[in-house]
Structure 1
């Protein structure tokens, strides 16, 4: 069953025509430009943008964004032509021009209200626009409309034509039936020598290498040589006679571009007479080429029946892609005399004369191939093969040959394979081989920079140094990474530079120091090639580096490496990681891809850029803005970096925003800047010539202050602040007035309070006065009482004296009796005494209450004595009032002091006044 499948696979592969080695093709579909199907005409403006007549739309493309416009009357646009800052367009009964103002195209009609399309000219379409002697010509199939100095003149053509062509400043008019005419001095003159062109629809007339060429619709190509018109003697012409030619153009005497209706475009190399056919099978999205345009690099722009294609015919890059899937992923290539050998995961293929053939019995994984004189060594998963004289032969069973290496010191070959390293000592006998002993590991890469030393890298990890003698007997095998205590030694890369082995281990470059027998960091390579994925040496002067998914061609200039970006569009998504290789084929380099290979010529230099070749256009919310414009805060700005070049010469650009320290690679021609701070900003674009950064263009703009601190908002804030101050002032004034009112009220209340206080004080004073009066009265009463008491005391004393006298005078009895009567008459009666006591108690009523409350055990006599003591009466004065003797008063005072619990040093009269 396996053999049957292999047979049918071989049978299928034998009849597969592979893709050609083609220039890079970039296709644009309706989903890209959002327009119609057909593209009838192409022109490039002086702004370097391309303009396309796309049925109902005029398309504009500047390499970054597409724009779409319609005529006011919505008719189909058939032709476009750029002259200065104007883009002329032709349509049904309409022609005019477009001008770009503030980022948008604006249309001006030249035919409106001019009565050009009347009578026999009522249904004219402008199919071509061209310039001659400063005049702009608008051509239909029956009329010419000539614009000169703002005046338009209509010229009727006496026969039906296909197109007009300007060659060597002569206007050729191609009649549908009558051949070719020259238009001069407003007359049409037939060229009789070109009778072969009669009854042919001519779709292009051009001149190359001094020869006129005529491209007819159905009868192929004619050429005028030595003034004789004849069919073009080229193998392609036989194919073209079976085709329909729609458009054609010559490029700088080097190439012919022929667009057809069914087979896409043919690109003819006039120096070799070879040609390529770019069509739907290999690159185009549509086979019907309606028009051809050229850009400033002389690359092609094709207007298709459905879409647009850009073909970089002048690029040094060419691509071989197998769209059938038969080839598989290519791991190795080998240029041979009879073609190019390709080793893939499907087997060994031979590419020759645009044909790809699988070699019999080669199915399986191929890892490496090495041309040796007239044969080629092939490392295959199933063994080692030799290709010679168109045949493939298996020579031994050493399978998994990853890397062949020819010794620079001996006439032998090494092969790193699944099981270790094989030595082929006899270069003419690859059936005989032997393995290095002591190394039975899968070895993927080997390098030799000394006669008896070999460096080897394991497929997974570890670096080995192998020492052997002249008979290839191993003397020593050492694990170098283990010896140098490098723990992360997975995926080691190894290159030879200036006959020195260098090792990329864990993102660092090392070299071997034979004196110290250790690995040491290589400063030069670490500085030049940091953070890379692959480094492939072509020779000591040229390298290929894979970094951040981009390929760079590195040229060495003394002690500097100059980096040249190989644009990612040529190989995007097709690099085979860990197995990228470069092979030299004449003046070209070949790099393997997962569906073919990539060819490029490194010596072809790019065009030197000019500052004017880079433009920057800015848009905010889709609206075009001019340089130095101000954009709203918190708005994103979209910056289009527009180059004059769309192909190989498209520059590797870098940019900086403001005073940034680093130059950022411009990975997309459209940059969107967000979260910008307020103030002025400068966006600068630079070109790196390999040594320094050269400024190319800049765009300055300003970001407005946030809305909350904008001019109007500041005005509002000031108004609010002013209003706040005003309200504060008013509020303070109101408060002040209220305060004054409160003050007045307070004063009023204070006055009332003062009045009340004064009234109270007056009342109090009155009461005090009354009290004083009362006290005075009481004092008077007390004085009266005291007086009476004194009087009584004196009376008693007098009576006592009289009684003593009477007692002494016994002789006068009658006198004695009379005196006694008098004493009796003058003695105090009981009523008067009671009155005295009542007045005494009333005048000291409060005192008695306070005293009795503090000392409730006091007797009436004690109280009476206390009253007399309060009145400051002496014991002598108290004795008669209490009707006791002086000593009785003193005794009574002593007892009272005991009851009151008073010390001897306290005066009783003073104490009574304190109660």
Structure 2
């Protein structure tokens, strides 16, 4: 059976769990199978027990298996021995036994289970025949480990041995009395450290007793392997001739257990498990066909909520016996259920595969539902109309009698349902795929009259109220009036909204014989006189705190059943008041047939609810105490390489644990020993001092936090079970120490360092002030000397500039003088030229015509002029002087242009002196054209282009 989580939490009174557990005779309880790949262990499970927190333990072939509702964990034995027996004491010690090994698991300081061997205390003599430890008991403060040859009594770390008189089979503790079965002496009772044979039990020597259970009148019920069940009144052994005994003799017994001294559980080898009452009547039979994964039941155990755990030859099974719900599913040949009804001793169920039935007084445990032949098709409804059973089937309207189709009333169309027509006692109307049809009851049976004209829309939601037929189709509501001859609708009115508040009609339903129209949980009736819808305040108030409903149906007990979303709820009528119940139905959420609310209330103990995969049976008498408040546990707390398993023994030790800052990555796991519908159990958590709000509900039972800052934290977790009930929060506090650099000692060190730094800085400042004063004096002295030196430098510089100015002035004078000298030299040249011209003219004079005295004077004059010309060295002096004055310029020019000729050096000097072409030509004794040619050659040698100024270039050198 599939279950989906409940979305809404109901507030109902919580009762203490009903100790008078009721095992239901009708239907099968919900069964949850756990395969070995889930619990990560071996196939066989020989023992089951539970601690005070609700955690379940199994003695498995692979060792000890622990299940807390969230996680499975396996603890191996030395040498990987398999376990055959298991028992827990009130202190949380888990005593186990296997082959040649027995001892106990005990949580260490971190809560991790550690194994301690007791068998090591056995002497070498007693250890020889140790063999398998099949049974473990806690009796009178001692732990008893029983093998076939011996029984070991352990207490206060000491061990004593009880040898079997012949050979032990098994042992049992019943009503605080310890019994052993000996292969020769029968059943022995252990009292005062001795074994006493019980009268009349030697009869059982050849029969293996696998179970001894308390029975009525202080007698015992003995379950043997192959010989069946026996009763023993401590005088004689007699067979228990019952159905249960027949079952065990046929299928072989492996013992059993008892529920509250009211119901007996009997394990079998071949055919699962049966639950019978104290009269031996089988109430339930669970086997592979009914949902178990294996037919061999090695052990059974009743947990603290009276639910049943089965250790199988291959796997583990949980049976939810405490639930008021049982189910008829595929094992009973039932699929999707649209409607059900009890009629003439048969329970009829309309399904998607046809109409099925089961005799109401027959045994539901074994029989399946039978198909009504001729109905193999979609059966939308099955109703009692005018004391006759009619099936609304895809094949038409079918009359059913004694599990058969007695009459096909109409086969032309499929039908959804039927209603009696008011004021026409022999007529009823049916909703079909094309509208409505009218039928009449006659002496020969039912007769199809005609299809009603005027309306051809199909709908299964319709009701008669006074003279109107009300129909909801899609989003619209129709008010229709049948004609007098019932052949047509004389009036059809489409109503789009009930009033201005609500535009859509949610549902129409008949309550207390009146039709109500529902919109957003507001209920309205129709006034024929005023032709208006008016609200029924009282009925609306009942649904004030209920989510918006989809459908509503009143059952035979005046209870109001409703669906909201995919969930189911009911207002149970009690003394003219209603009690809201919806948490109990939360496991049906998502499993209801959408749009087909199917609730068949036969009485308060027998209510049938249609599901998508079968039929649920609900006993409202078992409701009290069914929904209890769950418990949440912080199962483990991990950080770095440390993991603490939280349990009652170390809770106080783990609380307020200090964690180093380097381990500020913590991990929690949660659990809740709520084993009903575990897939719907959800957790919410909050880490105080880190999170302000609780987390969203989630099925994840693990939470990690990383990089937490130092401080005090409290981890809180709560659980919400499949019925929507929340637990009280479970809390675990811890502290994350600050890193060394944020520790209080570090802060004290920082304070000392700051104070030391202030002291050092203060002294350094004082020293610096003194040094600064000293250096300031020195600096002032230095500045004074620098200023004095600067003054002297400025004075020297000024003197230099004065000298330079004098030198420049002198240079200017020299250049002027040079210019003047050149001019004078030029005048001399001109003079010499003139004198040479005179000499030439004198040479041309014929002296022969002169007298001697004149001739003598003439010669004297000629000689005097020639002498003047020859003895004039002015040009040579000028050339020498010019070279001396411009020596540096000529040197630089020669260095830069080594190929320059002396003649070009002279030209450069003349150009530098800004002499004209004519003057240069006279000095160099060349023509003006010769000067220009010389200038051109000089420019070429100096690498100047036409646009560059020759004189400016020379001046830059």
Query: What TM-score does the superposition give when structure 2 sets the normalisation length?
Result: 0.67
Contact 2:684 2:698 in 1 (8 A): no
Aligned match of 1:234 in 231, 236, 242?
242
Q: Which residue pairs with 1:642 in the alignment?
A: 672
| CA drift at 1:244 | 2.2
Q: Which residue pairs with 2:494 in the alignment?
A: 479
Q: Which residue pairs with 1:759 in the alignment?
A: 792
Q: Is the deviation greater in 312-321 or in 425-434?
A: 425-434
| CA drift at 1:289 | 0.9
Note closer, same or farther for the CA distance 1:372–1:153 as it changes in structure 2 (3 Å cut).
Answer: farther
Q: Which residue pairs with 2:595 in the alignment?
A: 578
Give 3-state SS (helix, strand or coil) of 1:257's partner: strand
Aligned match of 1:124 in 131, 141, 145?
131
Q: Which residue pairs with 1:773 in the alignment?
A: none
Deviations 1:17-46 (A, max 9, x none): xx9821111111112211111111111122
Aligned match of 1:93 in 95, 100, 104?
100
Give 3-state SS (helix, strand or coil) of 2:415's partner: coil
Q: Which residue pairs with 2:225 in the alignment?
A: 217
Q: Is the deviation greater in 472-481 or in 90-99?
A: 472-481
**Separation of aligned partners in 1, 2:384 and 2:484:** 25
Contact 1:396 1:430 in 2 (8 A): no
Give 3-state SS (helix, strand or coil) of 1:193's partner: coil
Q: Which residue pairs with 2:610 in the alignment?
A: 592
Q: Is the deviation greater in 720-729 or in 229-238?
A: 720-729
Note closer, same or farther for the CA distance 1:213–1:148 as it changes in structure 2 (3 Å cut).
Answer: same
Note closer, same or farther for the CA distance 1:674–1:151 as it changes in structure 2 (3 Å cut).
Answer: closer
| CA drift at 1:461 | 3.7
Note closer, same or farther for the CA distance 1:218–1:695 as it changes in structure 2 (3 Å cut).
Answer: closer
Give 3-state SS (helix, strand or coil) of 2:582's partner: strand
Q: Which residue pairs with 1:670 in the alignment?
A: 701
Aligned match of 1:366 in 353, 361, 379?
379
C-alpha RMSD over aligned residues: 4.9
Say if 2:396 is the partner of 1:383: yes
Say if 2:50 is the partner of 1:44: yes
Note closer, same or farther for the CA distance 1:665–1:116 as it changes in structure 2 (3 Å cut).
Answer: farther
Give 3-state SS (helix, strand or coil) of 1:283's partner: coil
- Superposed counterparts of 1:273-288, under 5 Å: 273-288=281-296
**Separation of aligned partners in 2, 1:41 and 1:106:** 18
Contact 1:384 1:398 in 2 (8 A): no
Aligned match of 2:447 in 431, 435, 439?
431
Identify which of structures 1 and 2 has the higher relative contact order when contacts are C-alpha pairs closer than 8 Å and 6+ apart.
Answer: 2
- Superposed counterparts of 1:460-539, under 5 Å: 460-468=474-482, 474-481=489-496, 492-497=506-511, 501-503=515-517, 509=522, 511=524, 514=527, 515=530, 517=532, 524=541, 527-531=544-548, 535-538=552-555
**Separation of aligned partners in 1, 2:255 and 2:571:** 41
- Superposed counterparts of 1:210-359, under 5 Å: 210=217, 211-224=219-232, 228-270=236-278, 273-323=281-331, 327-352=334-359, 353=363, 354-359=367-372
Aligned match of 2:432 in 402, 417, 423?
417
Note closer, same or farther for the CA distance 1:706–1:349 as it changes in structure 2 (3 Å cut).
Answer: farther
| CA drift at 1:595 | 2.8
- Superposed counterparts of 1:623-634, under 5 Å: 623-624=644-645, 626-628=654-656
Q: Which residue pairs with 1:399 in the alignment?
A: 413
| CA drift at 1:206 | 1.3
Deviations 1:754-784 (A, max 9, x none): 12333256669999999xxxxxxxxxxxxxx
Q: Is the deviation greater in 669-678 or in 120-129?
A: 669-678
Note closer, same or farther for the CA distance 1:589–1:91 as it changes in structure 2 (3 Å cut).
Answer: same
Q: Which residue pairs with 1:775 in the alignment?
A: none
- Superposed counterparts of 1:740-751, under 5 Å: 750-751=783-784
Note closer, same or farther for the CA distance 1:612–1:189 as it changes in structure 2 (3 Å cut).
Answer: same
Give 3-state SS (helix, strand or coil) of 2:69's partner: coil
Query: What TM-score does the superposition give when structure 1 sets the normalisation length?
Result: 0.70
| CA drift at 1:173 | 1.6
Note closer, same or farther for the CA distance 1:120–1:63 as it changes in structure 2 (3 Å cut).
Answer: closer
Give 3-state SS (helix, strand or coil) of 2:201's partner: helix
- Superposed counterparts of 1:119-268, under 5 Å: 121-176=128-183, 178-210=185-217, 211-224=219-232, 228-268=236-276
**Alignment: residue pair count:** 744
Structure 2 unaligned regions, length at least 5: 1-24, 647-653, 804-957
Q: Which residue pairs with 1:77 in the alignment?
A: 83
**Separation of aligned partners in 1, 2:296 and 2:131:** 24
Q: Which residue pairs with 2:730 in the alignment?
A: 698
**Separation of aligned partners in 2, 1:731 and 1:414:** 111
| CA drift at 1:624 | 3.7
Q: Which residue pairs with 1:453 in the alignment?
A: 468
Note closer, same or farther for the CA distance 1:620–1:359 as it changes in structure 2 (3 Å cut).
Answer: same
Contact 1:375 1:389 in 2 (8 A): no
Give 3-state SS (helix, strand or coil) of 1:104's partner: coil
**Separation of aligned partners in 1, 2:705 and 2:418:** 53
**Separation of aligned partners in 1, 2:180 and 2:315:** 29
| CA drift at 1:54 | 0.9
| CA drift at 1:207 | 2.4
**Separation of aligned partners in 2, 1:126 and 1:565:** 45
Contact 2:714 2:732 in 1 (8 A): yes
Note closer, same or farther for the CA distance 1:759–1:477 as it changes in structure 2 (3 Å cut).
Answer: same
Note closer, same or farther for the CA distance 1:726–1:336 as it changes in structure 2 (3 Å cut).
Answer: farther
**Separation of aligned partners in 1, 2:327 and 2:658:** 46
